[in-house]
Chain A
Amino acid sequence: MSSTTSGAATVTLDRVSAGDQLPTLAIDVTATTVVLGALASRDWRPMHHDHEFATVRNGTRNIFLNTPNQAAWFERYLTDWTGPRGRLGQITFRMKDSIFPDDQMVFSAEVTDISTDPVGCGWVALSIALSVGDKVCTTATARVAIPIDTNDNPWSRSGDQWQPTPN
């Protein structure tokens, strides 16, 4: 199922099928998780670090994970599975409920499609859920390029050879 790049596993297209489930990832969220993520993404807005602002002004129950940090968590989740040769083409997500300190957030995903585009790049489409308990807080879809075989590297594609959205 995998080749290695400096010891890191890499998924190849020939070993992936629609319906495959990715391993789940569970993270215990703390205030530090939220604040660290906001500041790492240079998001200084107070609802991501100031409890009183979040609860009194925004009406949420605590500070909450910011949007760019959620994107970064999705990237981490997906490339944990693909390995370093996996290259994100597109990700779309809808945040229906916020992620707060003391939540355990759980990422899960299913492969919904595999394809090879007209320039020979291999793609995996995924449906992703970010849940807390029984509640799905964020839903996402992603399109990720993965090697078609152990000699392929999607990162080597540029210009017309890289088509991050389907035609």
Chain B
Amino acid sequence: MTATDGVPAEVTALIGERQYVQTANFDVEASHVANTCSATQNGNPLFWDSDVAAELTGGPIAPPTTVSLWIRPHYWEPGAVGEQLALKVHFDLKETFGLPEAVMTDNTLVFHEPVRIGDRITHWQVLRSVSGPKTTKLGSGRFWVIDLEYVNQDETLVAVESYTGFGYRRDES
């Protein structure tokens, strides 16, 4: 990153720093697993048949790719003000750079210990990089990479996720 990229020092200072350490306020639970499997017509017996789960994984687990589900805030809850957002670093960057729109372009998931029914997941976010100004078919803006690291209640790593986001302003045509 160079000075001409126009990235403020306060953003550069956050690169590599752990932000927004949060523990979910609900446990990993079976009905959300069923919702995900239903939404993707996933008939894997590991998630539907308790005997298979007992045999293969020592009890019920969640599909690995659901990991972000377990830390996303409720849309509303008592005492909450405004929209409750997951991936707050992403929204911070949109605001910092005055980019009203955003999409995700890349996602990497690395799965460690299985997430089990009854687990309580904690995660944090780490900004890895911010690009200089870029223009795509969606508009003009910047790309950024944010890692999310997930641990269970025993502080055992369950997954690391990396998102590439593109914050942008639609070009006037």
Q: Which of B101, B112, B114 interacts with A58 by CB under 8 Å?
A: B101
Is B110 a contact of A43 with CB atoms below 8 Å? no
From A7, A87, A95, contact of B105 by CB (8 A)? A95
A59-B138, A76-B44, A94-B105 given; A36·B65 CB < 8 A? no
Q: Is A101 part of the binding interface, using a Cβ–Cβ cutoff of 8 Å?
A: no
Is the beta-carbon distance between B65 and A74 smaller than 8 angstroms? yes
The answer, among A68, A79, A90, for a CB contact under 8 Å with B42, is A79
The secondary structure that dominates the A interface is mixed
Contact A91 B109 (CB under 8 A): yes
B72 touches A (CB below 8 Å) = yes
Provide the bound-state CA to CA distance between A84 and B37, in Å.
13
Rounded to whole angstroms, the CA-CA distance of A73 and B55 in the bound complex is: 25
Could you say which residues of chain A place their CB within 8 Å of the CB of B38?
36, 40
How far, in Å, is A73 (CB) from chain B's closest CB?
5
Among A42, A44, A89, A91, residue most surrounded by chain B Cβ atoms (within 10 Å): A42
Q: In angstroms, how far is the closest chain A Cβ from the Cβ of B114?
A: 7
Which residue from chain B places its CB closest to the CB of A93 in the assembled complex?
B107
Q: Which of A44-62 contact B (CB under 8 A)?
A: 44, 57-59
Is A8 interfacial (CB-CB < 8 Å)?
yes
The B33-71 residues at the A interface (CB cut-off 8 A) are 35-46, 49, 51-52, 55-57, 63-66, 68-69
Asked whether B65 lies within 8 Å of A6 as measured between CB atoms, the reply is no
Interface residue? A18 (CB, 8 A): no
Interface contacts (Cβ under 8 Å), in number, total 137
Q: Which interface class (under 10, 10 to 19, 20 to 34, 35 or more) fits B?
A: 35 or more
B72 touches A43 (CB 8 A): yes
Do A155 and B56 contact each other (CB < 8 Å), given the known contacts A72-B39, A95-B106, A164-B111?
yes
Among candidates A67, A84, A153, residue contacting B107 with C-beta atoms closer than 8 Å: A67
- Is B17 close to A, CB under 8 A? no
B75 touching A5, Cβ below 8 Å: no
Contact A90 B108 (CB under 8 A): yes
**A162 in contact with B40 (CB, 8 Å):** no
Whether B75 contacts A44 by the Cβ 8 Å rule is yes
A37 CB within 8 Å of chain B:
yes
Q: Inside 8 A of A57's CB, which chain B residues have their CB?
A: 100-101
Given contacts A6-B49, A42-B69, contact A67 B104 (CB under 8 A): yes
User: Which A residues lie at the B interface, using CB under 8 A?
Assistant: 5-8, 27, 33, 36-37, 39-44, 57-59, 67-76, 79-80, 84-85, 87-96, 153, 155, 158, 162, 164-165
Residues of B whose CB lies within 8 Å of any CB of A are: 32, 35-46, 49, 51-52, 55-57, 63-66, 68-69, 72, 75, 83-84, 86, 100-101, 103-114, 138-139, 163, 170
Given contacts A40-B32, A89-B110, 11 further A-B contacts (CB under 8 A): A41-B36, A42-B86, A69-B39, A70-B107, A72-B66, A73-B40, A75-B63, A76-B42, A90-B109, A92-B109, A95-B105
Closest 10 CB pairs of A and B: A76-B42, A42-B72, A40-B39, A71-B65, A40-B35, A84-B46, A92-B108, A75-B65, A36-B39, A76-B40
